[in-house]
A and B are shown apart, each in its own frame.
Chain A
Amino acid sequence: MTALLTATPPPATSRDLAHLSDEALLSLVASSDDQALAELYDRFAGVAYGLALRILRDEALAQDAVQEAFLAVWRSADRFLAERAKASTWILTLVHRRAVDLVRREDRRRGEPLERAAEPVAPSTTEDEATIGYERRVVQEALRQLTPEQREALELGYYGGLTQSELAERLGQPLGTIKSRMFTGLSRLRDLLAEAGLEGSYP
Chain B
Amino acid sequence: MAADPHSLVAPYALHALDDEEAHAFEEHLAACERCREELAGLREAAAGMAYGAEGPAPPPELKERILAQARSERPNVASLPARRRSWTAPLAAAAAIAAAVAIAVGAWAATRPGENAFAHVLSQPGARVVSMGGRGALAVAPDGEAAIALNVPRAPHGRTYEAWVIRNGTAQRAGLFGGRDGTSVLKIERAAPTGSVVAVTLERAGGVDRPTQKPLAETEAIS
Tell me if B209 counts as interface (CB < 8 A to partner A): no
Task: Tell me the residues in window 45-64 of chain B with beta carbons closer than 8 Å to chain A beta carbons.
Answer: 45-59, 62-63
Q: Which of B8, B52, B111, B112 gathers most chain A CB within 10 Å?
A: B52
Measured between beta carbons, the chain B residues less than 8 angstroms from A108 are none
In whole angstroms, what is the CA distance A161 to B16 when docked? 7
Q: B98-133: contact bitstring with A at CB < 8 Å (1 yes, 0 no)?
A: 100111011011111100100100110000000000
Instruction: Choose, from B83-91, B154-162, B194-202, the stretch at the interface.
Output: B83-91
Instruction: Evaluate contact between A32 and B77: CB separation under 8 angstroms.
Output: yes
Measured between beta carbons, the chain A residues less than 8 angstroms from B66 are 37, 41, 66-67, 70-71
Task: Tell me the residues in window 18-68 of chain A with beta carbons closer than 8 Å to chain B beta carbons.
Answer: 19-21, 23-24, 26-28, 30-35, 37-38, 41-42, 45-51, 53-55, 59, 62-63, 66-67
* Chain A interface residue count, Cβ-Cβ cutoff 8 angstroms: 99
Instruction: Evaluate contact between B105 and A124: CB separation under 8 angstroms.
Output: no
Measured between beta carbons, the chain B residues less than 8 angstroms from A125 are 57
Interface of A is mostly: helix
Instruction: Evaluate contact between A83 and B13: CB separation under 8 angstroms.
Output: no
Measured between beta carbons, the chain B residues less than 8 angstroms from A71 are 66, 69-70, 73
Instruction: Evaluate contact between A34 and B80: CB separation under 8 angstroms.
Output: yes
| Chain B, Cβ-Cβ closest to A156 | B16
Contact A84 B40, CB 8 Å, known A34-B70, A54-B55, A154-B49: yes
Instruction: Evaluate contact between B16 and A167: CB separation under 8 angstroms.
Output: yes
Measured between beta carbons, the chain B residues less than 8 angstroms from A175 are 1, 3
Chain A nearest CB, measured from B105 CB (Å): 4
Measured between beta carbons, the chain B residues less than 8 angstroms from A136 are 51-52, 54
In whole angstroms, what is the CA distance A125 to B208 when docked? 59
Q: A66-96: contact bitstring with B at CB < 8 Å (1 yes, 0 no)?
A: 1100110011001111111110110011011
In whole angstroms, what is the CA distance A167 to B18 when docked? 12
Measured between beta carbons, the chain A residues less than 8 angstroms from B9 are 183
In whole angstroms, what is the CA distance A97 to B19 when docked? 12
In whole angstroms, what is the CA distance A28 to B105 when docked? 10
Tell me if A147 counts as interface (CB < 8 A to partner B): no
- In order of increasing CB-CB distance, the 7 nearest A-B pairs are A50-B55, A190-B45, A49-B58, A183-B10, A139-B52, A81-B108, A92-B47
**Which A positions have Cβ atoms within 8 angstroms of B?**
9, 12, 16-17, 19-21, 23-24, 26-28, 30-35, 37-38, 41-42, 45-51, 53-55, 59, 62-63, 66-67, 70-71, 74-75, 78-86, 88-89, 92-93, 95-97, 100, 121-126, 132, 135-136, 138-140, 142-143, 154, 157-159, 161-165, 167, 175-176, 178-180, 182-183, 185-187, 189-190, 193, 198-199, 202-203
List, sorted by A's number, 30 A–B pairs whose CB atoms are closer than 8 Å. Answer: A9-B85, A20-B91, A21-B98, A23-B109, A32-B77, A37-B67, A45-B62, A51-B53, A62-B58, A63-B62, A67-B66, A78-B119, A88-B47, A95-B50, A100-B15, A136-B52, A139-B48, A158-B15, A158-B46, A159-B49, A163-B16, A163-B21, A164-B21, A179-B3, A183-B42, A186-B42, A186-B45, A187-B41, A199-B45, A202-B106
